[in-house]
A and B are shown apart, each in its own frame.
Chain A
């Protein structure tokens, strides 16, 4: 190739994958309430948890909001089976969320600590409350969607699949919130929390199976008495007409 035809040497394009991330400044103050902070300035909440600042009050507040949002989503989902089922699911959905979180609290603390995130029990509590509230907020936004499908279809398999996908979608935002802790000054090793989130999701699905049904009234009492593995129950829902 002659010198005239040789293309000029262009500068190398910037490598975006290796670009160092900019240091994120954690806001010290936020004007609104704790729920609004979780939604609009989650880093502020991450900073408060890292600072050990008002954890019990904030954790309780977020936990209550999270449970209320789960209850509303449960009611909308339960409308598939009628008003009576909606009332039952309004009560069951927050119980499922709370008991799953309760069972996973020891593992949250241990997975966090072992992963290099030296959590205190009060920080673990506030973190768990924030996670539940974050999942709850997304579920609240999805409540009209689940209501629309609940009242307009009779296909059980479809409704089960839809609600599972919506819940996993909401849980992914919970995971996103947990990953924000990478900006925290002392609790920045989030590797353990990712593993823990998988355990929490599996436990939540089993807890929902244990407290079933959520979409129709049980034959007697407030739940089915026989025991089932969540995968088996999920498959059976698709076989049921």
Chain B
């Protein structure tokens, strides 16, 4: 147990301080199983910590729920696209094994989680300095929207930056004949497509003041993210907010 936790810790430190060494470990296919296990635990703990702060303004109960749901979202999305990623990598002639694909995708998510972990003090400032849980409906709506915007900015920064590192990882691990850009684009599209829907199902994360605190919304499986965007948000924007 001691050895395992030590190796998990080492993997996370290598990923942070020398990502190129981490990609070399994946390329050489040495101890990928232990590496993925270490990353899995790291993503679980770090995203749970961020989740606690993320929903802190609404209620401690929602904080607890989001501490469970955010790891579910990140690990769930990564795991769901894994087989597709491996198939795409094989079709595009990357010569990556399934274990290597696991190492690469968990590695990119691990980097994003390092960034999220480092942004916890910033998130805390916004949670404590912006969110006043008293006021008129308009003020509460404004507070909720501002917080939502801030969290989208912070999480998107971490996600984009983590995925930029994935491109570097692919460059170091795939064979020369494979187009890194094509493979990278295909993986990002798959990840974004699944991630948006899973985040829709697992909502609320920030917690609207106009809905009761719940682990999942009662209508979580009734519609999908894209239906909402194309049938509600876009027509609303195109009609000028009417």
Contacts and interface: CB of A to CB of B under 8 A. Distances in A.
B163 to A, nearest CB: 12
A232 B146 contact: yes
B131 to A, nearest CB: 6
B161 A103 contact: no
Contact of A227 (B120, B122, B124, B130): B130
Interface stretch (A10-18, A48-56, A170-178, A203-211): A203-211
Contacts of B122: 103-104, 107, 199, 202-203
Contact of A109 (B118, B126, B146, B147): B118
Contact of A210 (B18, B121, B129): B129
Interface stretch (B24-32, B109-117, B182-190, B217-225): B109-117
Contacts of A83: none
B19 to A, nearest CB: 7
Nearest to A203: B122
B142 interface: yes
Contacts of B17: 113, 118
Nearest to A102: B121
B119 interface: yes
Interface residues of A, number: 29
A228 B130 contact: yes
B20 interface: yes
Contacts of B119: 106-107, 199
Contacts of A209: 129
A195 B132 CA distance: 29
A125 to B, nearest CB: 15
B165 interface: yes
Interface of B: 16-20, 111, 114-115, 117-122, 124-126, 128-132, 142-143, 146-147, 150, 153-154, 157, 161-162, 165
10 contacts: A103-B122, A106-B119, A109-B118, A113-B17, A114-B161, A118-B17, A198-B157, A199-B122, A207-B129, A228-B132
